[in-house]
Amino acid sequence: MPRKLLLPYKSVFSHFRAPRGVHDSLAMNAARSGYRVFSANSTAACTELAKRITERLGAELGKSVVYQETNGETRVEIKESVRGQDIFIIQTIPRDVNTAVMELLIMAYALKTSCAKNIIGVIPYFPYSKQSKMRKRGSIVCKLLASMLAKAGLTHIITMDLHQKEIQGFFSFPVDNLRASPFLLQYIQEEIPDYRNAVIVAKSPDAAKRAQSYAERLRLGLAVIHGEAQCTEQDMDDGRHSPPMVKNATVHPGLELPLMMAKEKPPITVVGDVGGRIAIIVDDIIDDVESFVAAAEILKERGAYKIFVMATHGLLSADAPRLIEESSIDEVVVTNTVPHEVQKLQCPKIKTVDISLILSEAIRRIHNGESMAYLFRNITVDD
């Protein structure tokens, strides 16, 4: 049989010419390949952080429409091509938490079905982070939300100051838990006169590690308030007493377990000297402010002449602005991870620290495949 002649690759296709405009289209697609930043919020107040981030990146906010239909359903429409691109979804959490979660899930799924290369959620305040432990016959809702985000198509998350660092273990993809403390420490040094005469205060023993971190970095003293009236997370039932004990319950013969003594909180005391000094209370979340107001009253009684409260996430729910305005607290400093412009109008004591710089840098580094170690300089396990 005659042998077939195998022509070189070039000679086989040398006669083929691409249709006019194909080369221009390929060049355009190559130029477009990169990243896009979208906002998943349907309210204008919640897109402020996204606009700050895109301004720092020198990019435009992605074209999309997020709205609620008359029957309450959430609808998301992506108005531009995202094929093969890294997509960053910025989602700040307003008071309507559940709507914000659905907006994020639906937008992530819409981008996934639109063939986005990677979908990274930028969620500065991660919702349901307080429900990360079992409570009686409840559920670990934070773990459920992590599974839902993975199913919707997210491949990475950027967040800030998780309520419990162990939450990162709930996810099946990478989580970058950034810290707001460098910005709050800078605020203390630049905006609080005579901060060298201050003392860092933990309003409960649970917050002592965070307060110690601030105190060591500022070279200041540390005080801890012990014996507050409200229950802490550790005091809540975690399901180990289920089912409840019955008076006439049958006990196995010979089985006598030692009885756990009930906790009894001591009178409220302040461990540390705050007399004649500035007291700076630090925490990760300010939601219901009753405990902060009570702590401020105790510190005033112990001689503190000025009281600041600093936290990463300012949820400021319910009557928080009014209670802060009427309290002994001189200033409440929070970051813009959560929109709180309405609360600021109600209470001039509330101040805001912008953290869009670190979020925009995280986006840039992830897209370019650069190390994130620079954003975690001098950050320890306890921070």
pLDDT at 256: 74
Same CATH fold, 181-229+266-353 and 36-178? yes
pTM metric for this prediction: 0.83
Per-residue pLDDT of the chain (383 residues; tens, 9 = 90+): 555 444 443 443 344 344 444 344 333 333 345 899 999 987 887 899 999 999 999 999 999 999 999 998 999 999 999 999 999 999 999 889 999 999 999 999 999 999 999 999 999 999 999 999 888 888 999 999 999 999 999 999 999 999 999 999 999 999 999 999 999 999 999 999 999 999 999 999 989 999 999 999 999 999 999 875 545 555 555 554 455 555 555 556 666 778 777 777 777 889 999 999 999 999 999 998 999 999 999 999 999 999 999 999 999 988 999 999 999 999 999 999 999 999 999 999 999 999 999 999 999 999 999 999 999 998 887 77
181-229+266-353, what's its fold? Rossmann fold (3.40.50)
Query: Coil, strand or helix: which one is 321?
Result: helix
pLDDT at 26: 31
Cβ 60 vs Cβ 54: under 8 Å: yes
pLDDT at 244: 53
Q: If we measure between CA atoms, which residue out of 146, 117, 114 comes closest to residue 129?
A: 146
pLDDT at 358: 96
Cβ 92 vs Cβ 124: under 8 Å: yes
What backbone torsions phi and psi does residue 353 show, to the nearest 5 degrees?
A: -110, 130
Q: What is the pLDDT of residues 82-126, one digit of tens each?
A: 999 999 999 999 889 999 999 999 999 999 999 999 999 999 999
- Domains of the chain, by residue range, sit at 36-178, 181-229+266-353
State which amino acid sits at residue 31: A
The CATH number of domain 36-178 is 3.40.50.2020 = yes
State which amino acid sits at residue 6: L
Residues 6+ apart with CB under 8 A from 165: 177
Q: What is the pLDDT of residues 115-135, one digit of tens each?
A: 999 999 999 999 999 999 888
